[in-house]
Structure 1
Amino acid sequence: MLFSLHPVIAGLVFIAGVIAVSLASYALTRWALLARTDEDSRELAGSVLFRVAALHGLVLALVFAQELTSIRDVHVTSAHEAAMLADIYYDLERYDAEGTQEIRAELARYAIAVIDEEWPSLAGDGRLSDAAWQAWERGYESILDLSPETPRQERLLGIMLADIRELSELREARENAAHFGASQLFLIAALSGILLISAGYFTYPATALNLMLLSGFAAFTGLIIFFVMAYANPYHAPGNATPLGFERFLSDEVRALGAR
């Protein structure tokens, strides 16, 4: 629900909620425990606070790096897929420009379906487009039906069959990336860390400056958590990967052929 809003609005709402939770944890702990606090308990609270904060920061850093790596992997995979698609397209032209025109048109339709249908579908329900699968299937079947008449055509056919089969593996990798996001366990651990760290500051007085500093900590931590949750699906804004390789492949000529 939250990520259906504009990313800026969703981020501000999420951060405001984290700040409210942090201040509430601090206030509740201070109300419940301050009267029972002595010098030893203050030292122990500071020691525990330091260790919890270190572990919390490590968890956030590791998961944040993992999500950025996932987005990078989608960029690399889609670029490889688009390059391989272009190789097949132009190898078909080398094989027989006239006789393979319809097959090349199917590959162009495949690229159009990836951009127009598949990317939004992966951002939504995390599924590949049926239209793109059908275009791939028709292209694969048509290449299988080619009958090479020269050694050159025979070598090209072997390369194209290997490439188009690998396309399906790259497609599966793109789909899997949409389901490898941060789990709810991470969100529980991250919010629990904020609660514990905020509670650990109960020995400090509730001055305006202290509350501002505590709110700043909560805001920055909430921003990192929001980015991690937003990047969980590498096809969804704000950190979404883009089908740049397919867009570059679809020149005016190639797009015109796919529109036939």
Structure 2
Amino acid sequence: MHLHELAMGIGIALINIVAVYVIYGITRAIWGGRQTTETKDLAGSIIFRVASLQGLILALVFAQELQNYSEIRADLVTEATAVADVFNDIRRYDTPEMQQVQTTLATYVRHVINHEWEALSKTGKLSGQGWQYREEVYQTALDLDPQTPRQTDLRAHMIQATQKIAELRQKRENSAVHALSGLFWFAAITGVICVAVPYFIYPPTPLHLALLSLYGGYTGVIMYVIYAFSDPFSQPGALPPTAFTQLLLGEMGQY
């Protein structure tokens, strides 16, 4: 985690703590001296129930966004594997088009790293140039004329791999335009307010304020992490194209 990402997370946690203090201070000023035993019992019951519901909502959304984040990383590894398979299979096929295909694949990988990844964070769209590189490799594989069973199998595998590249590219673009619903943020912020309000029954002792800070700060951190995971192509939770950069560290980097 970079320093500015850590600072942003701490900042959001502090803002959440201040918000909880403000809510607590307002409700304490209005109802702080008007408490009965029944009020304390009811407030305690509400705190428990609302906090449980809010925790469940945050946990479910956190798990979903983390799963999506992990799937994008796994798809990137699968796509890089498909690219490497075609790169190596075209050599095994032993065709004059080998040099052209390998150069196109290396150019495609560099294009994804240097251009498309940043474009996904800004526009949520893949470039036409990237699709063109993939199409060139696909058309070359389709045009191959196998003469042996070995070449037949290699051609079929290369076609399948290039089709997989197209499928994973489309999934990546769909993931880039995904965004958390505003209803989630409405529910999360409302939950913070609804949990903070009943705390007016407790006097503002240092221990009580510390516990309120713990609740507000941790809730803010969780919402920040959910926000970071919701967009894997932009900061603060940007996922680097590590699987592609690893390809360029090998033989493909020489093309």
Hey, what does 2:43 align to over in structure 1? 45
Read off the aligned partner of 1:62 and give its amino acid letter: L
Map 1:142-157 → 2, pairs under 5 A? 142-157=140-155
Hey, what does 2:187 align to over in structure 1? 189
Query: Of 154, 158, 167, which residue of structure 1 is paired with 2:156?
Result: 158
Hey, what does 1:59 align to over in structure 2? 57
Distance 2:54 2:208 in 1: 21
Distance 2:153 2:44 in 1: 70
Map 1:214-233 → 2, pairs under 5 A? 214-233=212-231
Hey, what does 1:76 align to over in structure 2? 74
In angstroms, what is the RMSD of aligned CA positions? Answer: 1.8
Question: Residue 244 in 1 paired to residue 223 in 2?
Answer: no
**Per the alignment, in what secondary structure is the counterpart of residue 182 of structure 1?**
coil
Deviation of 1:252 after TM superposition, in Å, equals: 5.0
Distance 2:204 2:240 in 1: 46
Query: Of 12, 16, 19, which residue of structure 2 is paired with 1:18?
Result: 16
Of all paired residues, the percent bearing the same amino acid is: 38
Distance 1:27 1:237 in 2: 34
Hey, what does 2:103 align to over in structure 1? 105
Q: Deviations over 1:192-243 (max 9, x none)?
A: 1111111110010112321222112101110010110111112234433332
Deviation of 1:183 after TM superposition, in Å, equals: 2.1
**Per the alignment, in what secondary structure is the counterpart of residue 230 of structure 2?**
coil
Using the size of structure 2 for normalisation, the TM-score is: 0.92
Hey, what does 1:129 align to over in structure 2? 127
Bigger Cα displacement from structure 2, 32-41 vs 227-236: 32-41
Read off the aligned partner of 1:150 and give its amino acid letter: T
Q: Which structure 2 residue ranges, 5 or more long, are not aligned?
A: none
| Ranges of 4+ aligned residues in structure 1 off by more than 6 Å | none
Distance 2:198 2:100 in 1: 68
Bigger Cα displacement from structure 2, 216-225 vs 236-245: 236-245
Tell me, yes or no, if the aligned pair for 1:181 and 1:231 is still in contact at 8 Å: no
Hey, what does 1:200 align to over in structure 2? 198
Hey, what does 1:92 align to over in structure 2? 90
Distance 2:136 2:4 in 1: 39
Deviation of 1:72 after TM superposition, in Å, equals: 0.9
Distance 1:169 1:227 in 2: 28
Q: Deviations over 1:17-38 (max 9, x none)?
A: 2112111111111122224332
Read off the aligned partner of 2:107 and give its amino acid letter: R
Distance 2:245 2:19 in 1: 44
Deviation of 1:250 after TM superposition, in Å, equals: 1.9
Using the size of structure 1 for normalisation, the TM-score is: 0.90
Tell me, yes or no, if the aligned pair for 1:71 and 1:240 is still in contact at 8 Å: no
Hey, what does 2:207 align to over in structure 1? 209
Distance 2:95 2:13 in 1: 57
Read off the aligned partner of 1:247 and give its amino acid letter: T
